[in-house]
Every structure is written in C-alpha cells, then in structure tokens.
Amino acid sequence: MARQLQLNLDRQSTTPLIEQLRSGVKSMIEAGALRPGAPLPSSRLLAADLRVARSVVVEAYQQLTAEGYLISVDRSGTRVANLASAQDGAVTGVSAVGTVSARWDLRTGLADVSGFPRAEWLTCLRRVLQTATPEHLEYPALAGVAELRSELTSYLGRVRAVRTTADTLMATAGFAQGLALLSNMLLDLGHATVAVEDPGHPGQRRFLEDIGLRPVPVPVDDEGIDVRALAASEARAVLVTPVHQFPTGVVLSESRRTALVAWARQVDGLIVEDDYDAEFWFDDAERPPAVQGLAPERVVYGGSASKTLAPGLRLGWLAVPAHLTPALERARARQDLGSSTIDQLGYAHFIATGRLERHLRRMRRRYRERLEAFTAAVANLLPDFRLIGSPAGLHTFLAIPPYVDERALVDAAARLGVVVRGADHFACHHRPPTPGLVVGYAIHSRDSLVGAAAALAAAVRMIRTG
Ligand SMILES: Cc1ncc(COP(=O)(O)O)c(C=O)c1O
C-alpha cells in the first residue's frame, strides 16, 4: 500500500495501473477523503511510493485534471479542485447581511489580534523550549504547570484582588473549558439549574444546556443582576459578569455585590464570576475588584487570555474554593489529560518578565482611543443615542431612542454594511433594560468607527423616511 495516499494498486488485475490510479483518486475525491484544495503528492514521490513508472502518475493526474477533479497550481503542484464551489454559494455565517458584504463587523467577541505581540511571545516560547525539563514534556498536572499557577496567583491577587493559591487554581483552554468543567462539576454535586444573566451570553446559555444543566434567566437592570429575582429562583449556582455585564456593560453595584454574596451563603450556593474583559477599564472611576475577593469560599473566579492576547491561544483559568478543587479535578479527569505545558510555561514567562503589563499598556491605549472616537462620533452623529454601562472592555452598549425600532435598525444597518446585534439577540425571557445595539469596537480604527457611526445614522434616516 502507498504511504502518500490511502490507495492500493492490484498488479494482478487486468485494469491498467493508470486507470486504477485515476479511479482510485477520483473515488477518494468523491467520497470527501480528499478535500477541495488538498495537495496531492508529487508525481515523483507517488511513483516511488507505489513502485510504478512516473509516467503512470503523470498520466493519471493529467486525466483527472482534464476531468476537472484536479488542478495544477504553479509551484505548489497538483491540488484537488473545488468541485462544489459553483453550487456552494457564499457562506457568510451572518444571515442578516444578505448579499451586502460587511464593511463594519461590530459583533462582540473579537479582540484586535493585529496587536498580538508576536516577537515577545516567540521570545518566551524560545526560552521555554530552551529550559523546559524532561518532566515538563511529560503529561502535565491536570490543574496546569506549577509555574503558571504561581504566576497567576500573584498576578490576579495584585490586579484583581483575587484571593487564591496555586493549589486552588486551574489552567484551562479558555473560559469556555472552565465553564464546561464547572458545569460537569455542578451536575456531579447535584445541581440541575444554573442562574444566568438575562440579557447574557447566548452561547454560554446553550453551552450549559448542552451539558445538561437548565439555565434560569435572571433579569439585569442598571445595577447588574437582580439578586431578589435570583433568590426567588430555585438555582443555587449563578454565572455572572459583575465588572462589565455582558452585554449591557453595567457594573454590579456595591449593594448588589454584598447581596449576591449573602445569597450564596444563605443557599449554600456558588457564584461563577466571569471576569472576561476586566483588564480593559477606561473609566476615571476605580475599577471594582473581583467579587471573588469578598468570599473566596463561595466564588469561582474565571479569567481568560482571549481578550488580552488572542482567543486562538485558548488560555484561561479558574480560581476555585479549596473544598471544590477535588470535584473539579474529577470532572476534568473525565475530559482530558491537561493542557499544553509549553503554552502555559510561555504565558508564565510572559507575565513574570513584565511583558504582559507592557502589552496591556499598549492595547489599553489603542482600545481607549477607539472607544473615545466612537463615543465622540455617536455624540455628533447620533445625538439621541446614549452609550450606557462603564467604558470598559471591548464592546459598548448603544441605547437607542424610543422612536427607533431595534430590529428595524439592525436590518437597515446590515443593508448599509454594518453587522451589529441588537440587545434582543442576547435576551432570553426578560426584556433588556433598554433597546440598543451591542457594539464590538475593538478591531476597528478610529476612522472606521466614525464611518460606522455615520452608517448607523444613515440607517436611522432610512427607517424614518421609510
Ligand atoms: C462573556 C464572555 N465570557 C468569556 C469569554 C472568553 O471565552 P474564552 O476564554 O473561552 O475564549 C468571552 C469571549 O468572547 C465572553 O464574551
């Protein structure tokens, strides 16, 4: 059998080798084993591999090219043709856009990865690869390498007043994996429901549901989650974004923070604090510390490098109450064998050498300027609109005036090339505190944000003039 292709030639057969090769490759393409764009081995390599004359391969490739199955690409050799392209159509993933291409993608969840500190990260990885011990290359501890847990413990204590130890901290593949692990742990502990903020993150709601927990939507107002409504639900665990509520941007008020912790103590419950974008805080008012510091025995603190560095790193962490560490490890032991040691060590070095702080200073400046540009453009071009919530994170909430219908605005904006989501997209059972647009501004230049605001103003005019 060939090693370059999963293909056998039958030398006893009366079918010529060229035909066997041609039909073998064609079947692989039709079955989807060879995907559009996939490179084929060079004729020289494949001929050696199959122990046939090179001309056999060349001829088979030529026939398949003539039939439209293969294409010959300068320098990069022969590849599988994109047979489906004609009937596929464009897969935009954004149905509201229809046929208009998105000039401004204002959806949330995007960090400006063009600012990713490639050279600095490479320096850290190089250093890790030079100094990693053989133990570092073995299976890691489930909770992560000691170096990262220790760095994160002191970093989170310093910048977020999180009270944790390396023993109660777990490195995860982003907050998403942390949430999956916590959900499984909660199921193990007998929870059937988890309260979630409404409006909140629809992806997280679905995530909980898929794992087998029932999300209980609890309304959010201008002080954050309504703790009275939470107390009236049967849930004993809640997922919250206290510092920059997703998506409204409101900050959990001081009295609600106290009430939330009191609730958790009263019901023997658990608060899961998703501190997803706290590093970016542009307000003159002081940034509230993590709720976890108020009650480390009742709060799981979750963080992530997705906003600060890049979501592609899949780096996150959980600081858990000490008594829950064994349950969390048991949940994890059922799922994987830990996450990449090399990346964890790289991140530990990135923090320890002050590179994270430097990078954050750069990115804070960049994001602050962008948010200020958008804020000024809204004041100029959309004077009846209001930005609510704290100026923080990588998105902002643009409250729309009563005379503009949210859905109509989202649709009109899409027709003008602005992809943006209305508050309604994030709501579950309760109406959002106010209709509005949730604007992810992080990836756009200041000029582009001014253009987006102008396009939104044009969309408003379009609706009003019918
Ligand atoms: C509310 C919220 N939490 C957490 C995250 C980060 O998730 P992860 O760390 O898995 O990338 C995001 C990312 O967009 C988010 O919007």
- Residues 349-392: tens digit of each pLDDT: 999 999 999 999 999 999 999 999 999 999 999 999 999 999 99
Q: CA geometry: angle at 175 spanning 172 and 176, to 5°?
A: 100
Residue 302 lies in a domain: yes
Residue 2 — pLDDT band, cuts 50, 70, 90?
Answer: low
Q: In this predicted model, what pLDDT tens digit does every residue of 153-164 receive, in sequence order?
A: 999 999 999 999
* Shortest-distance atom of ligand 1 to CA 179: 10
Residue 72 — pLDDT band, cuts 50, 70, 90?
Answer: confident
pLDDT at 75 over 90: no
Please state the rounded mean pLDDT for residues 194-199.
98
Residue 229 lies in a domain: yes
pLDDT at 456 over 70: yes
Q: Are residues 35 and 72 in the same domain?
A: yes
- We report the CATH number of the domain holding residue 434 as 3.90.1150.10
Please state the rounded mean pLDDT for residues 426-448.
95
Indicate the top mutation candidate among 112, 113, 175, 177 to test ligand 1's pocket, ranked by most ligand atoms within 8 A of CB: 175
pLDDT at 93 over 70: no
Name the closest-CA residue to atom 4, ligand 1.
276
Q: Provide the pLDDT for residue 399.
A: 97
Beginning with the edge strand found earlier in the chain, give each strand of the sheet holding 224-225 in spatial order. Answer: 169-172, 316-319, 299-304, 270-274, 237-240, 193-198, 214-221, 224-225
Q: Are residues 255 and 297 in the same domain?
A: yes
Please state the rounded mean pLDDT for residues 445-458.
98
Q: Which two tokens stand for residue 279?
A: 């590093």
Give the Å distance between the CA of 463 and the centre of ligand 1: 33
pLDDT at 89 over 50: no
Note whether 142 and 329 are within 8 A (CB): yes
Q: Are residues 327 and 364 in the same domain?
A: no
Residue 68 lies in a domain: yes
Indicate the top mutation candidate among 110, 241, 277 to test ligand 1's pocket, ranked by most ligand atoms within 8 A of CB: 277
Q: Are residues 29 and 80 in the same domain?
A: yes
Q: In this predicted model, what pLDDT tens digit does every residue of 236-288 receive, in sequence order?
A: 999 999 999 999 999 999 999 999 999 999 999 999 999 999 999 998 888 99
Indicate the top mutation candidate among 112, 177, 304, 315 to test ligand 1's pocket, ranked by most ligand atoms within 8 A of CB: 304
Q: Provide the pLDDT for residue 466.
A: 76
Note whether 358 and 119 are within 8 A (CB): no
Q: Are residues 55 and 136 in the same domain?
A: no
CA 198 to chain centre: 20
Indicate the top mutation candidate among 225, 276, 443 to test ligand 1's pocket, ranked by most ligand atoms within 8 A of CB: 276
Q: Are residues 62 and 191 in the same domain?
A: no
Q: What is the pTM of this model?
A: 0.85
Q: Provide the pLDDT for residue 341.
A: 96
Q: Is the CB of 115 under 6 A from ligand 1?
A: no
Q: Is the CB of 155 under 6 A from ligand 1?
A: no
CA 375/CA 366 separation, integer angstroms: 14
Q: Provide the pLDDT for residue 101.
A: 66
The values of phi and psi at residue 278, to 5°, are -65, -20
Three-state secondary structure call for residue 191: coil
pLDDT at 335 over 60: yes
Residue 10 lies in a domain: no
Q: Provide the pLDDT for residue 371.
A: 97
Residue 2 lies in a domain: no
Provide CB contacts within 8 A for 22, sequence distance 6+. 60, 63, 64
- Torsion of the alpha carbons at 259, 317, 296 and 195, rounded to the nearest 10: 30
The values of phi and psi at residue 178, to 5°, are -55, -45
Q: Is the CB of 274 under 6 A from ligand 1?
A: yes
Q: Is the CB of 168 under 6 A from ligand 1?
A: no
Q: Is the CB of 306 under 6 A from ligand 1?
A: yes
Q: Provide the pLDDT for residue 176.
A: 96
Q: Which two tokens stand for residue 10?
A: 């039958």
Q: Are residues 329 and 429 in the same domain?
A: no
Residue 257 lies in a domain: yes
* Shortest-distance atom of ligand 1 to CA 201: 1
Note whether 428 and 200 are within 8 A (CB): yes
Domain boundary among 353, 382, 401: 353
Domain boundary among 313, 338, 353: 353
Q: Are residues 229 and 317 in the same domain?
A: yes
Q: Is the CB of 441 under 6 A from ligand 1?
A: no
| Position with higher pLDDT, 227 vs 92 | 227
Specify whether the backbone of 289 is left (phi greater than 0), alpha (psi in -120 to 50) or beta.
beta
Give the Å distance between the CA of 316 and the centre of ligand 1: 9
Q: Are residues 274 and 165 in the same domain?
A: yes
Residue 208 lies in a domain: yes
Q: Are residues 221 and 140 in the same domain?
A: yes
CA distances from 63 to 17, 22, 31 (A): 13, 7, 19
- We report the CATH number of the domain holding residue 30 as 1.10.10.10
Q: Provide the pLDDT for residue 95.
A: 36
Three-state secondary structure call for residue 342: helix
Please state the rounded mean pLDDT for residues 170-197.
98
Q: Are residues 29 and 99 in the same domain?
A: no
Give the Å distance between the CA of 201 and the centre of ligand 1: 9
Q: Are residues 447 and 322 in the same domain?
A: no
* Structural domain span for residue 42: 17-87
Residue 6 lies in a domain: no
Going by C-alpha positions, the residue among 328, 346, 337 that lies closest to residue 167 is 328
Name the closest-CA residue to atom 6, ligand 1.
175
Average pLDDT over the chain, rounded to an integer: 93
CA 304/CA 313 separation, integer angstroms: 10
* Rg (the chain; Cα; Å): 27
Give the Å distance between the CA of 279 and the centre of ligand 1: 13
Q: Is the CB of 311 under 6 A from ligand 1?
A: yes
CA 151/CA 212 separation, integer angstroms: 34
Q: Is the CB of 215 under 6 A from ligand 1?
A: no
Q: Is the CB of 417 under 6 A from ligand 1?
A: no
pLDDT at 74 over 80: no
Domain boundary among 353, 371, 395: 353
Q: In this predicted model, what pLDDT tens digit does every residue of 22-33 receive, in sequence order?
A: 999 999 999 999
Q: Is the CB of 61 under 6 A from ligand 1?
A: no
Q: Is the CB of 276 under 6 A from ligand 1?
A: yes
Q: Give the total number of structural domains in the chain.
A: 3
CA 147/CA 130 separation, integer angstroms: 16
Please state the rounded mean pLDDT for residues 106-119.
96
Instruction: Give 287's DSSP letter.
Output: P
Name the closest-CA residue to atom 14, ligand 1.
109
